Every structure is written in C-alpha cells, then in structure tokens.
Chain A
C-alpha cells in the first residue's frame, strides 16, 4: 500500500503596510479610519517617549529595572484597538502601548516599575491583569478568565501577550491545549521579537515559524508583521470575532523586534549585531505609520512638533504624579497577604511597625537606591 500524506499544513502571513510604504488597499479597506490612525500614531509616540524617560529614570536611580517597549508598540496597540472595553487584556511586561490605549494611567505602570505593588492594581474598569514577570504564567490565567467568562455566560474574551521565549515554557502548551480542548475564547498574541534576553529565537524554536506551534493544538494560526499596525488589527479582529462568535481560540505570531535592551539590567550590544538592529530600525512601526499618514495628508512636521510638546508635558506630569505617591507602608504587605489578616500576622505587622519607626533613618537611606538586578 502506498504511503499517503494525511495532513498538509500552511501558515498565512499578513502584511498590509510594509516598511517600504507599500499598502494593501484591499486588506486595509475600512480597517482603521485615518482619524483613528492619527490617534494610534500618537499613542505609539507617547509610549516611545515614556520609554526614553523611564530609561533615564532608571539610570538616575529613580526607578527599578525597566523593560523598554521600543519597537513593539504596534502589537499590543493593535489588539487594544480591536478589543471591547470589558475584554480581558492579560499581559506580560512589554504591552504598555495597549494598556495606555485602554486607559490604564501612565503613572500606574511607572509606579509598578518604581517598585510599588499598587501600580499593578490597574483600575478595574480596564480589565487588565497585573503585569506578569515570570515567563508564561499569564497565558494560563487568560485561559482561566476565558473559561470563567464562558461558564458565566458572559461575552468577555481574553487576549494574552507573551514572547517567543515563553512558547518554550510548558505553561504555553498547557494553556493552548486547554483553550482548544475546552473551546475557550482566548486570543494568544505571541510577540516574536527574536530575542529572549540574550538567547536568539533559533534556540527557542527549530520550526520555521512560531505560529505553527498553535497548529499542534488544533487552533487557527496566523503570522503577521507585528510592526504593521494594520496587520495586527486585522489579525486580532478576526481572532476576536472567532472567540466571540464561535468561542474558539486563535494563535497569532506577531513578528516584531525589540529595539532596546531586554531590560535596563542588560546591554543588548553585548549579544547581538548592530547591523541586525539597524535593519529593524528601518522597520520601526512608528516610522512607517507616520509616513503613511503624511501620504494621506493627515500628518506633517508641524503636527509632529505640537504632538511631541504635548506628549512631553503629559509624560512628565505622569512621572511627577507617580513620584509624588508616598512609598507604600510595610503594613500593605501584611494587609494584602490574606483576605482577612490572621492574628499572628497582625502581631508581626505591629512589631515591624514599631521597629521601622525606631530605625527610620536607616530605612530611608536604603530605600534611596532601587535595586538594579534583573530577573
């Protein structure tokens, strides 16, 4: 008996606005009105500026370890643009742009990286979960949120973000398997930025695409140019529709690039070629969006100048607000460990308060130098 091929698989790649300015009229039709694109461009610019400010804050000892978002702004923003206000956005730590678009205050994110857990208490109406720094845990939380939403008969879906490195974690595979098996409304957005700190993508995945990892779990998969806001919106829109109407998950590989270091705790120049970075600088999502808007006569250098002035004021005001918030008291750690504080813990809390009052001078001097360690 002849050996037969029983399965052939293919992965589609979507690119609507490429780095040369080529624009696919057909795919892009009606996707993002020009007026919205202006706002999206402004959001990316604002996020980029915040990155620069945060980097300087860390270098001058005013902020802890910070992961820059530079180069990856379009991915989470594209998703946030598509999602409903009450859909869950389940992120790791390079999705500032999408979170800000949903209205998460800039000072929340700043406060978090300044080392304050209260920054993670995103105002509830934003349906954002705490920033997940361990790699991959949040994908399971997204599956659980979607599961609960389905169980309760609600319309919310969950959109989760993670990197190419996270797809090597068991948590990814377990979350993908569950989402597909239980038919959960989850959108898995993998930001393939080619580098897991210093480890190149080739070591994470020997297959030609990360997208095909989703095929193994029986869910639709697609690869998009992650620096193309149109392509990101296109893919998430289809995935969100599928989640909402068919209660099925989708895996989207968003090919992007981390233009900065992994965090302020490493120096990417030590492990990757500048030539590679230079190529990706030309593919910057901000650059191509701006050129497109200029071609559409929606943008020019004077508008750019006005916007940058406004952003500068807004970001600096957010920094001031974040820095004005007094350091959390040690009692917070105790009060938020259990729903109700047990008596023995209350005792520990009270003894620590007495202790820290007595040695206030020492506490203040150590608090002045935030740790520079990575994770």
Chain B
C-alpha cells in the first residue's frame, strides 16, 4: 500500500520562501501587486477603504492606492455589482468585495444575469473582467441568512469562473490569475480560513485555473475537496491512516473550470471516491463530481461515489447544531470507510 505522503506541494509551483502570512494577507498581496501593475484594477465594496474591510482583507489599501481606487460604497450590493459591469464595459477591471457572499443574493441580477452573459448577449462585444470576492460558508454562528455556501447555487451558471482556495499560497496565486482573467470570476474565501497562516513567496507567481493540487497522496480512496473542506479531509485522512487506510486528497482550487482529468486519474488508481462539499447536496459541485466519476471511472469503481455535504436544512444558529450540520472529519471518515466496505 501507500506510504502516506505529507502535504503535497502545489503542482510545479515554487515554495519555501520561508515567510508565513495569513490567508487574508495573501489575498491582499495579490490585489496590491495587480493594482500596482495595472491601473485598470480597483477595489469597490462596503467598508473596504476606511475600515480596511469587514474581515481586514483590504487593510492599508486605501493608504496606498487612494480613494479613487479603493472605494467605500453605500449598502447597495446590486448597485456596485451592476456598476462594476458598466465599468468593465469601458475597459476597467474592478474587484468587487461582497462583505459576505450571502449578501450577494440581492445582487443576483447583475452577477448572474448580466456579467456572465454580457459577452454572449452583446454578440461578443463586451466581456466582463470582474472579480467578485468575499467571505463564503458557514461555521461562524452567523445564522441561516448569513451562512451561505453559494458554490452550489452559483456554479450552475455558464459564463463565469469559480475559485475556492484552501490555503494562503493558493489564495495569492489564484487571485492574481483571477484579476488577469477576461471573464467574471467568483472568488470564495471561507471566513474560517482567513486567519490561517501558510508559506507565501513575496515574488510574483500565478496559479492557472483548472489545475487541482494533490494535498495528500494515497492509494486507497480519492477524496475530492475544495476550500475549507480540504482541511477537514486532511484531518480525516490522518485519522484513517491510523486504521491503515491511505487517502489521496485532491484540492480542486477551482470549481469552474473543474480539473476533471486530475479526478479521473486519481480515482482510476484508487478505485474509490468520496467528495466533500459544504454546499447542499442537490445540484451541487459534489453531485457534478459524482456524475463525472460515475461516467468516466465506471469500471474502476468498487463502490458508488460517497458524498459528504451540509445537511439539507437551513444553517442552524446554535453553535453545536451548526457543527453537526456542516461536514466534519468524523463524517468524512465514515464515508470513506463505507465506500471501502470497512464501516
């Protein structure tokens, strides 16, 4: 069987700069580097300037770039999302911060109905190179309305890209790619990982979209995860290793595009697949991965794809209930054992 490797490093990316910074700092560093190199890039959102952002992601940016490029807005998500589209039509490349992706629901028309369709509906004339970014996912005891994992709902829409980094290194490299991308990019930052530290080189590097990272190598079961779920999967894999089960964890990095090749290659080796997705199960990235694996690896599978999602109920407010509602390491372990007939 496999010798469980430690945390694999990014596919071919440089590492070991030695410097450790938080996830939020990595996102900011990417934005600042891009704003220095491209005058068309600006940041707009609620409290992003004076207050440094509700989650301090934009700390110090007003000071460096001024109020012309780091813009505080009224509480008006549809307003600034729609304006960003107009600005993009005139050649700018705005970064739009939603304090929470939960609040982007009132901006559904611009972000789902305009931005991803503008290129097509203008006969190829107007693209929308906008990065919509913000905090996503439950876990902070914020109650049902503020705890959306919007990836399930929004990844259904053609014409946009969706990025869900799990660590500071990826956050920087993916944000830089997002800002340079010519399509609308939805960039999801889990509030639970914003303070997480990791090695991030000071120099410039970009991580291409659609390239998964092997977060842990293993031979018994493939665990497909993204964002914060990667860390839960790593916890589960460490626990399972004690029982002699070696999991391979794929950190997808981007949901759209999805690195189907990486999933298929891994599952063909392990013959088993568990997908961990914090959004609701019906019509989700998790169901898409399951459909893909069943189609492409049908003859390689020893069991159907097992899925770990949040429970199909509104996110509970009570702390204990919320923890039970979300995927966790215990449920991932159970899914892997069940998938391997070792329950």
Query: B159 touching A170 by the CB < 8 A rule?
Result: no
Residues of B within 8 A of A130 (CB): 118, 121-123, 125-126
- Residues of chain A in range 147-185 having any CB-CB distance to chain B below 8 Å: 147-149, 151-152, 158, 170-171, 174-175, 177-178, 181-182
Q: Are B87 and A342 in contact (CB under 8 A)?
A: no
Indicate whether A33 reaches chain B with its CB closer than 8 angstroms.
no
Q: Are B78 and A174 in contact (CB under 8 A)?
A: yes
A151 x B87 contact (CB < 8 A): yes
Q: Is there an interface contact between B123 and A178, defined as CB atoms closer than 8 Å?
A: no
What's the Cα separation between A341 and B132 when bound, in Å? 21
CB pair B74–A178 under 8 Å, yes or no, is: yes
A170 to B79, CA, bound (A): 8
* Contacting residues of chain A (110-159) with chain B, CB-CB under 8 angstroms: 117-122, 124, 129-130, 134, 137, 139-149, 151-152, 158
Q: Which residues of A contact B183 (CB under 8 A)?
A: 338-339
Q: Which of B85, B119, B127 contacts A141 (CB 8 A)?
A: B85
Residues of chain B with a CB closer than 8 A to A84's CB: none
Q: Tell me the complex Cα distance, A143–B159, Å.
A: 23
By a CB distance below 8 angstroms, the chain A residues around B114 are 134, 137, 141
Among A243-251, A254-262, A329-337, A356-364, the stretch that binds chain B is: A329-337
In the assembled complex, B51 has its CB within 8 A of some CB on chain A: no
Q: How many residues of A contact B (CB 8 A)?
A: 45
The yes or no answer to B76 lying at the interface (CB within 8 A) is yes
Nearest B residue (CB) for A154: B90
**Interface membership of B333, Cβ < 8 A:** no
Q: Which of A121, A122, A140, A151 contacts B82 (CB 8 A)?
A: A140
Contact between chains at B79 and A344 (CB < 8 Å):
no
B249 interface residue, CB < 8 Å from A?
Answer: no
CB distance from B252 to the nearest CB of A (A): 14
Q: Is the interface of A mostly helix, strand, loop or mixed?
A: helix
Beta-carbon contact of B42 and A120 below 8 Å: no
B88 at the interface (CB under 8 A from A): yes
Beta-carbon contact of A145 and B79 below 8 Å: no
Contact of A129 with B120 in the complex, beta carbons under 8 Å: no
Interface residues of B in 124-171 (CB under 8 A from A): 124-127, 129, 158-159
Tell me if A119 and B113 are in contact (CB < 8 A): no
Whether A178 lies near B78 (C-beta < 8 A) is no
Find chain B residues with CB under 8 A from A342 CB.
Answer: 210, 257
Bound-complex Cα distance A118 to B73 (A): 35
Top 3 A-B pairs ranked by shortest CB distance? A144-B86, A140-B82, A121-B123
Q: Which residues of chain A have a CB within 8 Å of any CB of chain B?
A: 88, 90, 117-122, 124, 129-130, 134, 137, 139-149, 151-152, 158, 170-171, 174-175, 177-178, 181-182, 332-333, 335-340, 342, 344
